[in-house]
């Protein structure tokens, strides 16, 4: 039996209680630790929740609050909060992240030089725009990713781009000229890339070092079909139930499902549930009131992961019209719960719902997209067998590729291939 590999994981975002990237980083590190002897280097802000989880991870906390705290406050001021202006957030995180990795290097330099680790793997941040300070310094193989990014704003939604305060998006390409950007991708033994829209951004990395690995995953203890109502099978109320779950922010178009119901008397015989909170909530409530949809649209507010999963199992169709979605982990969670997914055909959602795993509506002007979603939703009501077939294919796809346990085992196999100098493309996720 081969000896367990010793892996240093860099994950400044690694927190079991914080949504999105922090919990993804935590769960990925936890699963890798099932297969390798892992040491996680993370930011001190994550200490309380990691130690509360008591998962047994070997963690070293790097304290760069002297820079991270004031830069976070400045970014929040420039963004007008924490919900929008993602590009501004990334730009303001450049120096704090380099300081984090410099702290990692100072702490682990003796161990790295003594050969105490077989692999260094940076799993967060996942943006290609944030380079690595230590990639060119370590002598053992350095892996980075899964990375995700480089999805342009559709020209049809410039108004939403303005509401998202994404005017700085046009400066994104300058990251390739920042210090450490070239050395990061030149020195990486493997670059894990989530989707083709990110692969297209990594022009300096040859195919031999690219491994296509989605950053998203799901916990089958939470997201599953046990006790689920089959998609398309109407409940005791005789209705189909549709669900939107996500932040209520402009680029996710959370009011689109409401407008689709408003445009279709046939859909108003069914029910739409909206999970989430955010700056678009007031607009959405105004649309519901304008069209008198209180009887068929319910704003459910924010829910825990378990509560989201329970509602997914009780609903038939998952509506996710986001027009700039990089990872779309919530789509995989809906698939794992046996839902039929209706998404915008752009970025990660369109890729996940392809090959008969769901329905994807082409990007168009908002009125055309509303009509497209309304048409597909009406077809769902008329063709329950189609919903059931798509949902079954989607569940098989999610269960076969996206559990955290699978991703942990895959990481160990990839590490051994890198060390052995084997061909890496065979480790692409299907």
pLDDT per residue over 199-252, tens digit each?
A: 988 998 999 999 999 888 999 999 999 999 888 888 889 999 999 999 999 889
Residue 222: inside a domain: no
| Eight-class DSSP state of 19 | T
Count structural domains, the chain.
2
Residues 204 and 64 in one domain: yes
Question: What's the pLDDT at 85?
Answer: 61
Domain that holds residue 270: 241-401
This model's pTM is above 0.85: yes
Q: Are residues 117 and 258 in the same domain?
A: no
pLDDT of residue 303: 93
Q: Are the beta carbons of 178 and 94 closer than 8 angstroms? A: yes
48: pLDDT confidence band, cut at 50, 70 and 90? very high
269 and 303 assigned to the same domain: yes
Strands 119-124 and 6-11: parallel
Mean predicted confidence (pLDDT) in 112-137: 95
pLDDT over threshold 80, residue 107: yes
User: How big is the CA angle at 289 (ends 284 and 293), to the nearest 5 degrees?
Assistant: 90
Residue with tokens 């009501």: 381
| pLDDT value at 68 more than 80 | yes
Confirm whether 203 is domain-assigned. Answer: yes
In a domain, 225, yes or no: no
Instruction: State residue 1's pLDDT score.
Output: 65
Residues 397 and 409 in one domain: no
Question: Does a structural domain hold residue 301?
Answer: yes
- The beta-strand segments (E) located in 188-337 are 190-193, 210-212, 241-245, 271-275, 297-301, 317-320
Do the domain assignments include residue 24?
yes
Query: Looking at the predicted structure, is the pLDDT value of residue 167 above 80?
Result: no
Q: Are residues 53 and 179 in the same domain?
A: yes
Strand partners, 42: 61
Q: 93 pLDDT band (50/70/90 cuts)?
A: confident
Do 168 and 317 have their domain in common?
A: no
Residues 358 and 377 in one domain: yes
Complete edge-to-edge strand list for the sheet that includes strand 142-147: 58-62, 37-43, 6-11, 119-124, 142-147, 190-193, 210-212
Cα dihedral value 158, 163, 164, 170, nearest 10: 40
Structural element, H or E, at residue 211? strand 210-212
Chain CA centroid to CA 341, Å: 16
**How high is the mean pLDDT of the chain?**
92
Q: Is the peptide bond before 146 cis (omega within 30 degrees of 0)?
A: yes
pLDDT at 324: 85
Residue 27 has pLDDT above 90, yes or no: yes
Q: Are residues 387 and 308 both part of a single domain?
A: yes
Q: Which residues contact 319 (CB under 8 A, 6 or more apart)?
A: 242, 243, 244, 256, 257, 260, 272, 342, 343, 373, 377
pLDDT level of residue 293 (50, 70, 90 thresholds): very high
412 and 280 part of one domain? no
Alpha-carbon distance values, 109 to 124, 138, 139, 180 (Å): 20, 8, 11, 18
- Whole-angstrom Cα distance, residue 150 to residue 88? 15
Q: Is 327 inside any structural domain?
A: yes
In a domain, 227, yes or no: no
Identify which of 172-176, 236-240, 252-256 has the greatest average pLDDT: 252-256
Report whether 323 contacts 253 (CB < 8 A).
Answer: yes
Confidence of residue 415 (pLDDT cuts 50, 70, 90): very high
Percent of the chain with pLDDT strictly greater than 70: 97
Percent of the chain whose predicted confidence (pLDDT) is above 90? 75
| Whether residue 70 is found in the same domain as residue 150 | yes
Sign of dihedral through CA atoms 121, 123, 129, 130?
Answer: negative
Helix (H, G, I), strand (E, B) or coil at 246: coil
Residue 223 lies in a domain: no
Residues 135 and 276 in one domain: no
Is the confidence at residue 409, as pLDDT, over 70?
yes
pLDDT at residue number 163: 77
Quote the pLDDT of residue 162.
76
More confident residue, 167 or 269: 269
Position with higher pLDDT, 111 vs 429: 111
| Claim to verify: residue 187 and residue 324 sit in the same structural domain | no
Integer Cα distance of 367 and 354 in angstroms: 23
CATH number at residue 321: 3.40.50.2000
What is residue 361's predicted lDDT score, i.e. its pLDDT? 96
């Amino acid at each position: 039996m081969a000896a367990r590999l010793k892996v240093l994981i860099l994950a400044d975002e690694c927190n079991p209680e914080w949504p999105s990237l922090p919990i993804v980083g935590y769960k990925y590190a936890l699963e890798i630790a099932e297969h390798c002897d892992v040491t996680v280097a993370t930011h001190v802000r994550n200490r309380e929740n990691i130690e509360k989880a008591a998962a047994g991870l070997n963690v070293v906390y790097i304290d760069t609050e002297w820079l991270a705290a004031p830069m976070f406050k400045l970014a929040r001021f420039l963004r007008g909060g924490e919900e929008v202006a993602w590009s501004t957030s990334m730009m303001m995180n450049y120096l704090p992240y380099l300081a984090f990795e410099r702290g990692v290097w100072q702490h682990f330099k003796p161990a790295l030089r003594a050969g105490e680790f077989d692999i260094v793997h940076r799993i967060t941040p996942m943006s290609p725009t944030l380079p690595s300070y230590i990639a060119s310094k370590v002598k053992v193989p350095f892996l980075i990713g899964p990375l995700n990014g480089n999805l342009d704003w559709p020209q049809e939604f410039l108004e939403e781009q303005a509401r998202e305060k994404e005017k700085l998006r046009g400066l994104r390409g300058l990251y390739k000229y920042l210090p450490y950007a070239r050395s990061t991708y030149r020195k990486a033994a493997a670059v894990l890339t989530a989707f083709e829209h990110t692969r297209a951004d990594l022009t300096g990395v040859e195919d031999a070092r690219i491994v296509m690995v989605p950053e998203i995953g799901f916990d089958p203890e939470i997201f599953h079909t046990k006790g689920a109502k089959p998609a398309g099978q109407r409940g005791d109320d005789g209705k189909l139930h549709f669900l939107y779950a996500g932040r209520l922010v402009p680029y996710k178009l959370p009011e689109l499902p409401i407008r689709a119901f408003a445009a279709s008397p046939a859909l108003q015989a069914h029910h739409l549930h909206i999970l989430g909170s955010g700056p678009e909530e007031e607009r959405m409530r105004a649309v519901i009131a304008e069209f008198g949809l209180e009887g068929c649209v319910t704003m459910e507010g924010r829910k825990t992961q378990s509560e989201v999963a329970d509602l997914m199992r009780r609903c038939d169709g998952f509506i996710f019209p986001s027009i700039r979605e990089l990872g779309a982990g919530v789509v995989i969670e809906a698939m794992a719960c046996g839902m039929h997914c209706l998404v915008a055909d752009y970025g990660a959602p369109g890729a996940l719902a392809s090959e008969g795993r769901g329905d994807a509506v082409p990007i168009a002007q908002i009125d055309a997209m509303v009509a497209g979603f309304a048409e597909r939703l009406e077809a769902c009501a008329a063709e329950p067998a189609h919903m059931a077939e798509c949902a079954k294919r989607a569940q098989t796809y999610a269960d076969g590729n996206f559990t955290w346990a699978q991703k942990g085992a895959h990481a160990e196999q990839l590490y051994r291939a890198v060390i052995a100098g084997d061909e890496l493309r065979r480790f692409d996720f299907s």
